[in-house]
């Protein structure tokens, strides 16, 4: 039987990478910049979507329960809440399908966005997130120095924001579900096909994003 390399803790939340999927959930290799990254997220919350199992109960003529059948609860997916430190317009566009605003003086520069049309279909997104793998008082050495979290199919919307004295809390809300067509991910860097709504694995530092904004999805990742 195989064994895990150690009994580690998970510390901090260091980076995310999002990649656009096609309608059937396969990675979209046809879009030149079909991914985006952020190396300064604040937090990502997970809440299970649970369908409560039916309970059937029968009583006899004396009011005593004579038969009981209770089905187990079923977890069908998750709701997600992502908080960003920076106003990463390119990531927001990729996640939500928002329309970017270009600088009239330089159409190669993005200066803002417009929220998506409420009737538009939300983009399907593969999301990866990285935290540090920690052992007692130090980070674990490569190849297990980070813990990667994977959601193989998510959809996102821009959440409630509050303008106030202080920094803007840039928050997005999403839903996660299973994806049988994800294979080994948009960058072909998953050690197994994570087809359920969530999974994680130990990862090395070389895979952790170190930038902000659009990222070219490898066109040869499928090969």
Q: What is the pLDDT of residues 40-52, one digit of tens each?
A: 999 999 999 888 8
Domain borders along the chain are 9-215
- pLDDT score recorded for residue 1: 85
Residue 107, by phi and psi: left (phi above 0), alpha (psi -120 to 50) or beta?
A: alpha
Convert the pLDDT of each residue in 194-210 to its tens digit: 999 999 999 999 999 99
Q: Considering Cα of 194, then 197, then 201, then 207, what sign does the dihedral take?
A: positive
Mean pLDDT of 72-100: 95
Token pair 């930038």 is found at 211
Mapped onto helix, strand or coil, the DSSP state of residue 168 is coil
Mapped onto helix, strand or coil, the DSSP state of residue 191 is coil
Q: How far is CA 120 from the centre of its chain?
A: 21
Above 80 in pLDDT, residue 220?
A: no
- pLDDT score recorded for residue 153: 98
Q: CA-CA-CA-CA torsion for 83, 84, 85, 90, nearest 10 degrees?
A: -160
Helix extents (H) in the chain? 89-96
Token pair 């193989």 is found at 152
Convert the pLDDT of each residue in 153-197 to its tens digit: 999 999 999 999 999 999 999 999 999 999 999 999 999 999 999
- Of 216 and 38, the structure prediction assigns the larger pLDDT to 38
Above 80 in pLDDT, residue 223?
A: no
Q: What percent of the chain has pLDDT over 90?
A: 89
Secondary-structure percent of the chain, ordered helix, strand, coil, rounded to 5: 5, 50, 45
Neighbours of 59 (CB within 10 A): 10
């Amino acid at each position: 039987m195989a064994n895990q390399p150690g009994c580690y803790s998970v510390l901090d939340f260091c980076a995310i990478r999002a990649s656009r999927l096609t309608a059937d959930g396969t990675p979209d290799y046809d879009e030149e910049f079909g991914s985006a990254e952020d190396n300064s997220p604040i937090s990502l919350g997970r809440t299970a979507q649970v369908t409560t199992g039916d309970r059937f109960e029968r009583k006899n003529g004396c009011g005593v329960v004579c038969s009981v059948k209770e089905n187990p609860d079923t977890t069908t997916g998750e709701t997600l809440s992502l908080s960003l430190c920076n106003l990463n317009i390119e990531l927001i566009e990729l996640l939500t399908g928002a329309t970017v605003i270009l600088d009239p003086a330089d159409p190669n520069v993005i200066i803002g966005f417009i929220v998506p049309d409420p009737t538009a279909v939300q983009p399907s997104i593969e999301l990866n997130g990285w935290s540090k793998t920690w052992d007692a008082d130090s980070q674990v050495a490569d190849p297990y120095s980070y813990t990667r979290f994977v959601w193989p199919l998510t959809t996102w919307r821009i959440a409630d924001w509050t303008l106030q004295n202080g920094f803007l809390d840039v928050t997005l809300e999403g839903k996660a579900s299973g994806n049988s067509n994800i294979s080994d991910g948009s960058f072909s860097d998953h050690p197994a096909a994570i087809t359920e709504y969530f999974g994680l694995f130990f990862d090395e530092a070389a895979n952790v994003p170190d930038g902000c904004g659009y990222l070219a999805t490898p066109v040869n990742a499928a090969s």
